[in-house]
């Protein structure tokens, strides 16, 4: 079949062409099936979209930008189109659907084709769904992690041993710990090029929070350069093109479908570490009510699996199972969290205990791993670096190196101008602080895109409160979004205040 070309100047993320519905019917071509499009010299395989509109008439074919770029053919030229089988990687994907184990070669093939835009959204969704059901063997996860790491840039540090920390997320307020850990660890002499994605479902990711203090859109070369100069950096994986297939899977399938299969969680985190040449990693698994992991038993199983996969990849992993049953620190949202971290650095740790203790113990583990503190003395060494103000000085160097203002003060940080205080209507003790409700409220207020939006908590579990005490403030840069957030706050009631006697069971009426 011969078709007249129209270039559509529209990039949709995969290699795709557009056909008229009547032509498609006539030639037996379906939405999402494959065709080979050939000119005299070039030939590509593309995924088909079908239109009933007038933009592509009978006898015409529309090339979306990815297809245009590869074929380099002008409007009005003719190309040959032929229905073909999907690339073999799609067969591997279908084998996974049937529960088969994939070989290393098959996984590399598949990840490469996903990167090249040869796999449709429907196929990606089926694959991720299959992983949710069938899981993957350790061998498969190791191959997947390697394939994802190799699909993007690598950070090369030569002989230098590279350290890192990573949290599995799920608890609001944790994004800021990195802003305290990285300067402590680099000040102690270890190289820590921390890279991270933006928040996906949380009110702030590490780079969203760091961005309040300095640009995070560094290239791979800039990350290496910064890290060689000041030993630490906090940068965005996307501009550095680190593990780009992870971005594709998250943005096209995992986020819109709220799917997060375990094999992809391992591969997502560890592919980034592998690409960044990390050899020693402290992994934080926040555990507790409404965290991703609710019990220490589960967390331990996950920790062992991370360590096993890590050892196969040449990454030495130590795991910190931290308390994640309520938000960490008092601030939630990019600007509020950046401010809390900056205060912590400037005051040498005089801030919310939950955040400073967590940061210092994780930093301590890294110092011990790196041999810059003796076993059992890492935490004290980290405390010392923080208290002495040296961590703050190091953070200023990192901020300057990434292009931010090193003299930024906590009061310079812009918080949303609209604020609402939620006060207690009863007297009693705080018996619960809901992670999920605070995530919802902060996101409704605009976090993370509105960096000034978020929550500041005045009370945590176990605190005593009186009638009229402020429980928390909600901030937003938009009045409408603040109202939206207040609405959710009043229905979700994220903080429970109860008398110490939670329930009275009278003797006479006990039936059991």
Q: What positions carry a catalytic annotation?
A: 260
Angle at 243 between CA 193 and CA 310, to 5 degrees: 70
Question: Which residue stretches of 219-325 are H helix?
Answer: 220-230, 244-249, 255-257, 262-275, 296-313
186 Cβ contact list (under 8 Å, min separation 6): 192, 230, 231, 232, 394, 398
From the list 58, 75, 101, 257, which residue makes contact with a copy of itself (rule: CB under 8 A)? 257
How many other β-carbons are positioned within 10 Å of the β-carbon of residue 221? 12
Q: Is 31 in the site for a copy of itself (CB under 8 A)?
A: yes
Instruction: Indicate the residue among 132 and 387 with the shorter CB distance to a copy of itself.
Output: 132
| CB 59 to a copy of itself: min, Å | 16
- Closest by CA to 385, choosing from 190, 100, 96, is 190
- Rounded CA-CA distance 125/129 in Å is 6
52 lies in the binding site for a copy of itself (CB under 8 A): yes
Minimal distance, residue 500 CB to a copy of itself, in Å:
38
C-beta closer to a copy of itself: residue 79 or 363: 79
Interface with a copy of itself, residue 467, by CB under 8 A:
no
Taking residue 467's Cβ as centre, other Cβ atoms within 10 Å add up to 11
Q: From the list 104, 116, 121, 498, which residue makes contact with a copy of itself (rule: CB under 8 A)?
A: 121
**Least distance CB 462 / a copy of itself (angstroms):** 34
Q: Which of 76, 84, 122, 389 binds a copy of itself (CB under 8 A)?
A: 122
13 binds a copy of itself (CB under 8 A): yes
Residue placing its CB nearer to a copy of itself in the complex, 122 or 467: 122
Q: Which of 17, 50, 319, 382 binds a copy of itself (CB under 8 A)?
A: 50
Tokens matching residue 343: 């205060």
Q: Which two tokens stand for residue 220?
A: 């791979």
Q: What are phi and psi of 492, to 5 degrees?
A: -85, -25
Q: Looking up tokens 């660890």, which residue turns up?
A: 185
Q: Is 123 a binder of a copy of itself (CB under 8 A)?
A: yes
Backbone phi and psi for residue 232, each to the nearest 5 degrees, phi listed first:
-130, 155
Check if the beta carbon of residue 313 is closer than 8 Å to that of residue 151.
no
* 10 near a copy of itself, rule: CB under 8 A: yes
Q: Which stretch binds a copy of itself (CB under 8 A): 43-51, 372-380, 396-404, 409-417?
A: 43-51
d(CA 185, CA 177): 12
Of the residues 124, 181, 223, 433, which one makes contact with a copy of itself according to CB under 8 A: 124
| Rounded CA separation 279/266 (Å) | 16
Residue 436 binds a copy of itself (CB under 8 A): no
Question: Facing residues of 199 across strands?
Answer: none
The stretch among 3-11, 324-332, 410-418, 421-429 that binds a copy of itself (CB under 8 A) is: 3-11
Q: Is 296 in the site for a copy of itself (CB under 8 A)?
A: no
Where on the chain is the footprint of a copy of itself (CB under 8 A)?
Answer: 8-13, 18, 26-28, 30-33, 49-56, 65, 86, 94, 97, 120-126, 128-130, 132-133, 251-253, 255-259, 448-449
């Amino acid at each position: 079949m011969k078709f007249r070309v129209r270039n559509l100047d529209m990039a949709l993320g995969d290699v795709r062409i557009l056909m008229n519905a009547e032509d498609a019917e006539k030639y037996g071509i379906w939405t999402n099936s494959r065709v080979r499009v050939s000119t005299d010299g070039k030939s590509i395989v593309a995924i088909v979209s079908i239109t009933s509109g007038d933009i592509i008439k009978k006898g015409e074919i529309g090339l979306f930008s990815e297809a245009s770029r590869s074929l380099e053919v002008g409007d009005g030229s003719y190309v040959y189109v032929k229905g073909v089988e999907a690339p073999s990687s799609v067969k591997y994907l279908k084998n996974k659907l049937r529960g088969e184990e994939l070989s290393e070669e098959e996984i590399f093939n598949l990840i490469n084709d996903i990167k090249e835009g040869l796999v449709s959204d429907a196929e990606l969704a089926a694959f991720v769904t299959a992983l949710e059901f069938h899981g993957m063997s350790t061998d498969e996860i190791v191959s997947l992690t390697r394939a994802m790491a190799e699909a993007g840039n690598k950070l090369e540090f030569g002989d230098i041993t590279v350290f890192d920390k990573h949290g599995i997320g799920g608890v609001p307020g944790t994004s800021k710990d990195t802003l305290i850990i990285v300067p402590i660890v680099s000040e102690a002499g270890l190289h820590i090029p921390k890279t991270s994605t933006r928040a996906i479902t949380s009110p702030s990711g590490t780079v969203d929070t760091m961005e309040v203090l300095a640009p995070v859109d560094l290239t791979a070369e800039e990350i290496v350069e910064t890290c060689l100069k000041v030993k630490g950096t906090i940068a965005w994986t996307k501009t550095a093109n680190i593990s780009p297939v992870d971005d594709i899977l998250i943005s096209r399938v995992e986020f819109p479908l709220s799917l997060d299969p375990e094999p992809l969680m391992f591969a997502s985190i560890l592919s980034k570490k592998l690409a960044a040449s990390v050899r020693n990693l402290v992994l934080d698994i926040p555990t507790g009510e409404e965290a991703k992991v609710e019990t220490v038993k589960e967390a331990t199983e996950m920790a062992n699996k991370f360590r096993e996969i890590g050892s196969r990849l040449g990454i030495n992993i130590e795991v910190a199972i931290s308390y994640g049953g309520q938000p960490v620190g008092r601030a939630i949202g990019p600007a509020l969290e950046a401010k809390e971290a900056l205060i912590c650095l400037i005051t040498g740790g005089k801030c919310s205990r939950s955040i400073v203790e967590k940061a210092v113990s994780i930093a301590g583990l890294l110092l011990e791993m790196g041999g810059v503190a003796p076993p059992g003395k890492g935490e004290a060494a980290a405390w010392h670096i923080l208290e002495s103000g040296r961590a703050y000085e190091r953070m200023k160097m990192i901020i300057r190196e990434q292009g931010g203002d090193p003299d930024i003060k906590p009061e310079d940080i812009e918080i949303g101008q609209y604020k609402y205080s939620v006060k207690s209507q009863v007297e009693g003790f705080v018996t619960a602080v809901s992670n999920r409700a605070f995530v919802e409220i902060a996101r409704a207020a605009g976090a993370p895109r509105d960096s000034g939006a978020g929550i500041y908590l005045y009370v945590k579990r176990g605190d005593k409160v009186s009638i009229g005490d402020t429980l928390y403030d909600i901030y937003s840069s938009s009045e409408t979004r603040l109202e939206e957030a207040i609405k959710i706050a009043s229905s979700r009631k994220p903080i429970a205040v109860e008398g110490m006697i939670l329930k009275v069971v009278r003797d006479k009426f006990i039936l059991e």
